[in-house]
A and B are shown apart, each in its own frame.
Chain A
Amino acid sequence: MHIYDIIIIGGGPAGYTAALYATRAGLDAVLVERMSPGGQMALTGEIENYPGFDEGVDGFTLGMKMQSGAERFGAKTEYAEVLSVDFSENIKKVTTTNGELFSKTVIIATGADPRKLGIDNEERLTGRGVHYCAHCDGRFYKDKIVAVVGGGNSAAADALFLSRLCKKVYVIHRRDTLRATKIYHEPLMKAENVEFLWNYTVQEILASDGRASGSVLKSTVNGDTFELKVDGLFVSIGREPMTSFLNGAVELDGNGYIIADETTKTNVAGIFAVGDVRTKALRQIVTAVSDGAVAVHYAEEYLNSNN
């Protein structure tokens, strides 16, 4: 049985930074990734706020570069999905679709997935009028009518992106003002084909011929409802941490994020949480990579004191 120093779960920016720091420090580490490098970052067309790229960089390329940067020092990627974990013994066990892995420490870097509206027919209509990636699917709605649900940064960016393609973009937001940072406000207000529907939530998704055809909106002010006909609905209402596989192995907060402070230490010794999956104020690529380095620092400290 091979026992690694560190198993890293998740191949986004936090995971591959941890892999880089671990292998460069001479530790025996493996990274488990279910699909391909980059995580949520790989779904981002243009990244303008990761330093060192004066003309921006696309997220997929940055993910591949982070992987090859870690491989340069011997990091390995195991392509498999983690099914369950057992952190109850000194030697930690991670069960994957390719079999069991054992290690002295584990760094959890599983990130987050787009949050769903939680409406019955939503999953059936995903990719058929209900979408979570405007950058990927927006072009199928050229000159059509779409709605963006949400009021944060990613919703604002999606609405702006779609306004350049589509005939009309509705922005459905449950509050009366955007949560997005100022940089988005002016261009959105200026775009003539963007219309804000303040104080509404999506109550129902209407479908015809197996495709979404509109939605029933409900006022958060007086409870009134009305039907809005759209060709596509782009959902951008935040993220959900990927922690269900942990099954209680570490402590989570009420929203499912792993409770850990800036040391990235969880409530279990030798287990660390990095990137978007951790409780933190700002979820960005720069804070994710920072977590990756910090976690390896404390993992080394743990390994030194337990060997």
Chain B
Amino acid sequence: MSVLKVTKENFDVLKKSEKTVLIDFYADWCGPCRMVSPIVDEIAEECPQYLVAKINVDEEPELSAAFGVSSIPTLVVMQDGKIKEISAGARPKAAILAMLQK
């Protein structure tokens, strides 16, 4: 599956998702975000059991504030509309998959 670009308008999709959700909060100008971004794309491609989303912190300051994001990239795992895991900073692929499998 491809990555879902999430804004305020379609955020409900994540809250109502039956699949476990991975959200990548990022900005285009941030080096570590650009390191993580292709890894998140790969997970979306390889793991259809997850709903993988990206939220641009510059375009979506309200969503970022709602999740208390003050560091990017921030990776969030959500299940049944609730936050299960939250992790600031770039992570290797294995560590992100481990967050999802917890």
CB-nearest residue of chain B to A64: B34
Is the pair A232, B70 in contact by a Cβ cutoff of 8 Å?
Answer: yes
A-B contacts counted at CB < 8 A amount to 68
Q: How far is the CA of A43 from the CA of B29 in the complex (A)?
A: 10
Is the pair B90, A35 in contact by a Cβ cutoff of 8 Å?
Answer: yes
What 0/1 pattern do residues 63 to 76 of A give for CB contact below 8 A with B? Answer: 00000000000000
Give chain A residues whose Cβ lies under 8 Å from the Cβ of B90. Answer: 35
What 0/1 pattern do residues 7 to 41 of B give for CB contact below 8 A with A? Answer: 00000000000000000000001111111101100
Is the pair A60, B94 in contact by a Cβ cutoff of 8 Å?
Answer: no
Is the pair A36, B94 in contact by a Cβ cutoff of 8 Å?
Answer: no
CB-nearest residue of chain B to A140: B70
Q: How far is the CA of A190 from the CA of B90 in the complex (A)?
A: 34
Q: Which parts of B72-102 form the interface with A (CB within 8 Å)?
A: 72, 74, 87-94
Give chain B residues whose Cβ lies under 8 Å from the Cβ of A133. Answer: 32
> Known contacts A42-B31, A60-B31, A133-B32: does B74 contact A127 (CB below 8 Å)?
yes
Give chain A residues whose Cβ lies under 8 Å from the Cβ of B94. Answer: 81, 97
- Report the count of interface residues on B (CB-CB < 8 A): 24
Q: How far is the CA of A127 from the CA of B69 in the complex (A)?
A: 8
Q: How far is the CA of A42 from the CA of B29 in the complex (A)?
A: 11
Is the pair B70, A128 in contact by a Cβ cutoff of 8 Å?
Answer: yes
CB-nearest residue of chain A to B94: A97
Give chain B residues whose Cβ lies under 8 Å from the Cβ of A36. Answer: 34-36, 38-39
What 0/1 pattern do residues 96 to 129 of A give for CB contact below 8 A with B? Answer: 0100000000000000000000000000001111
Give chain A residues whose Cβ lies under 8 Å from the Cβ of B69. Answer: 140
Is the pair A127, B71 in contact by a Cβ cutoff of 8 Å?
Answer: yes
Is the pair A136, B30 in contact by a Cβ cutoff of 8 Å?
Answer: yes
A58 adjacent to chain B (CB < 8 Å): yes
Is the pair A137, B31 in contact by a Cβ cutoff of 8 Å?
Answer: no
CB-nearest residue of chain B to A37: B35
Q: How far is the CA of A135 from the CA of B71 in the complex (A)?
A: 10
A15 adjacent to chain B (CB < 8 Å): no
Give chain A residues whose Cβ lies under 8 Å from the Cβ of B92. Answer: 34-35, 81
Contact of B71 among A38, A58, A79, A131 (CB under 8 A): A131
Q: How far is the CA of A140 from the CA of B90 in the complex (A)?
A: 17
A59 adjacent to chain B (CB < 8 Å): yes
Give chain B residues whose Cβ lies under 8 Å from the Cβ of A42. Answer: 31-32, 34-35
Q: How far is the CA of A179 from the CA of B102 in the complex (A)?
A: 44
A26 adjacent to chain B (CB < 8 Å): no
List, sorted by A's number, 15 A–B pairs whose CB atoms are closer than 8 Å.
A35-B35, A35-B93, A36-B38, A38-B31, A42-B34, A43-B31, A45-B31, A126-B88, A127-B88, A128-B71, A128-B88, A131-B70, A137-B72, A140-B69, A140-B71
